[in-house]
Amino acid sequence: MKLWLLLPVDTEHDTLVFDGIRYQNPWIPWYDLTFGAVVRAETELAARQLMSGANDEDIQGHPWLDARFSSCVELTPDGEAGIIQTDEHWA
């Protein structure tokens, strides 16, 4: 199994534009949402599917399955010591 880091692509803009098409940002408003996770799965698709099925964000169009709205990066043990993920939203 592999570890995958899933994060939103953009959490600041109300709308996002891809190929000239404007989309409502699924991460706005910023409350009652999950803004990242580390998932254990064999593939990126499997990690995205697990994340998609575990959260209420699906109400907004399955952003965990769509690379326009979320990133999914395989984590490896290589690299410098440090924090992999924190997710803090201060009001």
Q: Look at residue 50 and give its three-state secondary structure.
A: helix
- pLDDT exceeds 70 at position 26: yes
Burial class (CB in 10 A: 0-12, 13-18, 19+), 82: exposed
Cα separations in angstroms, 36 against 11, 19, 27, 64:
11, 25, 11, 10
- pLDDT exceeds 80 at position 73: yes
Provide φ and ψ at 64, rounded to 5°. Answer: -70, -20
**Average pLDDT, whole number, for the chain?**
86
What pTM was estimated for this model as a whole?
A: 0.81
Report pLDDT for 39. 92
Percent of the chain's residues with pLDDT above 90: 45
Report pLDDT for 60. 64
Angle at 85 between CA 84 and CA 88, to 5 degrees: 155
